Amino acid sequence: MGFLEYAPAPESRAVLRLRDEYGLFIDGEFRPGSGESFTTISPADESHIATIASASAADVDVAVAAARRAFEKTWSRMSGRDRGKYLFRIARLVQERARELAVAESLDNGKPIKESRDVDVPLVAAWFFYYAGWADKLDYAGLGAAPRPLGVAGQVIPWNFPLLMLAWKIAPALAAGNTVVIKPAETTPLSALIFAEILQQADLPPGVVNIVTGAGSTGAAIVRHPDVDKVAFTGSTAVGREIAKAVAGTEKKLTLELGGKAANIVFDDAPIDQAVEGIVNGIFFNQGHVCCAGSRLLVQESIHDEVVDRLKQRLSTLRLGDPLDKNTDIGAINSREQLDRIRELSRIGEEEGAERWSADCVIPDNGFWFAPTIFTNVQASHRIARDEIFGPVLSVLTFRTPGEAIEKANNTPYGLSAGIWSDKGSRILAVADRLRAGVVWANTFNRFDPSSPFGGYKESGYGREGGRHGLAAYLKSASAGESARRVEAGRAKKGILS
């Protein structure tokens, strides 16, 4: 242990009230699944956490039927004000059980507790609070008076932000009056199942939210179910493509939030210390398992050496280890499969001629770990500059002029996010305007807010989540007759004669 080394500061697991087994959450209660159960493990030490039920196509059918009943009998008939009350209640319960949710998330996913505690869970509550506020104001969502919910939403989410992605999906769907069947990822079902308990605590009417755990085939059964009106998917571009094909030609509405390979552009007039922090946050937050991660650093040639040197110094101070330790900066990689992919792409990076540097940290004996890594001397044609690695690996490229930076930044099949670091506001605006990315951060990175729309261009998907735009994905405009009746009723209420 070195000079002024941090003492261990583990968050207690005692706050968790884990069950040995979790069933499917359908129609307001937990019930067994008819598929083969699976185990969820801690990626930090491969220890068993709980046994999880798996939903077959028949179970998905039961869940969709429950969602349909709830949609027709209760949820779509309830006033927006009352729906909002349930959402506020859920938000407050998330806050009350925040510590437990953060511990569960770090245990099951491997992310550092300081991130699940300070970022994921507060944002989950914020998402529910935000959309609770919208539930009785849908007339102002920009879709005309009295927009209608779509019906049953089938939602499939990934493992990198398990609870936050669930909130991004469920909160707007419910605010708009839809009911939900959602599948968390196979490696991270735990926080969704604790969330199911919160729904029971909130007395949400049965069937409004159904949580079905299982593998990709469970997701495919949801997406293909004929009684699902809306499909919302977050995950890889490959699976997104399959889903787009499955939904094509049906009446289903679709939003896809897929992968990314964001450019983080640092100009020579940028405040370097801030930029270095932003680069670290951009790619090493959540072990780089972030769709909008700043995985390609585009740095102006004149400051390349200085930035890379400072980055290496900074990375040498990051602490990798126990996700439940409050001092941990870099947690575990979520699964062996993901670790293999990161290793393989890094091996290819070296083979293609890029120069690899990894922080010198002690890797625990068990579990899945990867030291923060930087590749310099990267060419735009290298796989590590094109493929999404989805891990703590940064590819550094250089540029000389703003035009070259823009060209290189846009030279990707993706278009989810980008970052610009510069002292000049005019340059930031001019460059941002020409970047083909759904979100562009300036002198910061990886900032999320429920009121701000998020989504991609090109192979990063289509549709927006967050803000008023996020509601549009779960609503349809009222018919002309319905709008006219509504206006008439409003006039009558105010005593205006037509």
The residues facing 420 across adjacent strands are 265, 442
Q: Which of residues 135-174 bind ligand TAP (CB under 6 A)?
A: 156-160
Which residues, 6+ apart, have CB-to-CB distance to 362 below 8 Å?
A: 320, 321
Q: Which stretch binds ligand TAP (CB under 6 A): 197-205, 252-260, 278-286, 347-355?
A: 252-260
What is the length of the chain?
498
Q: What is the enclosing helix (H) or strand (E) of 87? A: helix 80-96
Active site residue 257: yes
Rounded to 10 deg, the angle between the 425-434 and 402-410 helix axes is 40
Report the nearest approach of ligand TAP to the CB of residue 221 (Å).
Answer: 8
Size of the site for ligand TAP (CB under 6 A): 28
Pairing mode, if any, of strands 296-300 and 393-399? parallel
User: Which single residue is written with the structure tokens 């930031």?
Assistant: 428
| Beta-sheet strands, E only, within 99-240 | 148-149, 152-156, 179-183, 209-211, 230-234
Report the nearest approach of ligand TAP to the CB of residue 374 (Å).
Answer: 20
User: Which single residue is written with the structure tokens 């740095």?
Assistant: 299
Cβ proximity to ligand TAP, 227 vs 306, nearer residue: 227
Cβ proximity to ligand TAP, 304 vs 464, nearer residue: 464
Nearest-angstrom CA–CA distance, 159 and 157: 7
Contact criterion met (CB below 8 Å) for 290 and 160: yes
Active site residue 291: yes
CA-to-CA dists, residue 132 to 136, 310, 430, 464, angstroms:
8, 44, 36, 18
Cβ proximity to ligand TAP, 267 vs 445, nearer residue: 445
Angle at 59 between CA 64 and CA 131, to 5 degrees: 40
Q: Which amino acid is at 79?
A: S
* Site membership for ligand TAP, residue 115 (CB under 6 A): no
Cβ proximity to ligand TAP, 130 vs 159, nearer residue: 159
Q: For residue 178, with 0-12 CB atoms within 10 Å meaning exposed, 13-18 middle and 19 or more buried, which class applies?
A: buried
Nearest-angstrom CA–CA distance, 64 and 153: 9
Report the nearest approach of ligand TAP to the CB of residue 331 (Å).
Answer: 16
Contact criterion met (CB below 8 Å) for 374 and 357: yes
What secondary structure does DSSP assign to 247-311, as a single string? HTTSS-EEEEE-----EEEE-TTS-HHHHHHHHHHHHHGGGG--TT---EEEEEGGGHHHHHHHH
Report the nearest approach of ligand TAP to the CB of residue 196 (Å).
Answer: 16
Phi, psi torsion values for 386, nearest 5 degrees: -115, -40
Q: Which of residues 270-309 bind ligand TAP (CB under 6 A)?
A: 291
Contact with ligand TAP (CB under 6 A): which of 11, 105, 186, 325?
A: 186
Residues 410-429 as x/- pattern, contact with ligand TAP by CB under 6 A: ------x-------------
Report the nearest approach of ligand TAP to the CB of residue 440 (Å).
Answer: 15
Contact with ligand TAP (CB under 6 A): which of 183, 253, 296, 382?
A: 183
Which residues, 6+ apart, have CB-to-CB distance to 393 below 8 Å?
A: 283, 288, 295, 342, 345, 346, 349, 370, 373, 374, 375, 384
Report the nearest approach of ligand TAP to the CB of residue 231 (Å).
Answer: 9
Say which of 291, 292, 388, 459 is annotated catalytic. Answer: 291
* Site membership for ligand TAP, residue 219 (CB under 6 A): yes
Cβ proximity to ligand TAP, 168 vs 399, nearer residue: 168
Cβ proximity to ligand TAP, 97 vs 225, nearer residue: 225
Residue nearest to ligand TAP (CB): 219
Report the nearest approach of ligand TAP to the CB of residue 107 (Å).
Answer: 17
Report the nearest approach of ligand TAP to the CB of residue 220 (Å).
Answer: 4
Q: Which of residues 227-246 bind ligand TAP (CB under 6 A)?
A: 234-236, 239, 242-243
- Sheet arrangement for strand 38-41: 21-22, 48-52, 38-41
* Site membership for ligand TAP, residue 62 (CB under 6 A): no
Contact criterion met (CB below 8 Å) for 259 and 291: yes
Residues 20-59 as x/- pattern, contact with ligand TAP by CB under 6 A: ----------------------------------------
Report the nearest approach of ligand TAP to the CB of residue 285 (Å).
Answer: 13
Say which of 100, 105, 115, 257 is annotated catalytic. Answer: 257
Contact with ligand TAP (CB under 6 A): which of 162, 260, 415, 463?
A: 260
Report the nearest approach of ligand TAP to the CB of residue 227 (Å).
Answer: 17
Cβ proximity to ligand TAP, 195 vs 267, nearer residue: 195
* Site membership for ligand TAP, residue 215 (CB under 6 A): yes
* Site membership for ligand TAP, residue 61 (CB under 6 A): no
Cβ proximity to ligand TAP, 149 vs 240, nearer residue: 240
User: Which single residue is written with the structure tokens 């993706």?
Assistant: 414
Residue among 98, 110, 114, 99 nearest 41 (CA): 110
Residues 385-404 as x/- pattern, contact with ligand TAP by CB under 6 A: ---x-x--------------
Contact with ligand TAP (CB under 6 A): which of 24, 138, 208, 223?
A: 223
Q: Which residues are catalytic?
A: 257, 291
Binding site for ligand TAP (CB under 6 A): 156-160, 183, 185-186, 215-216, 219-220, 223, 234-236, 239, 242-243, 257-260, 291, 388, 390, 416, 461
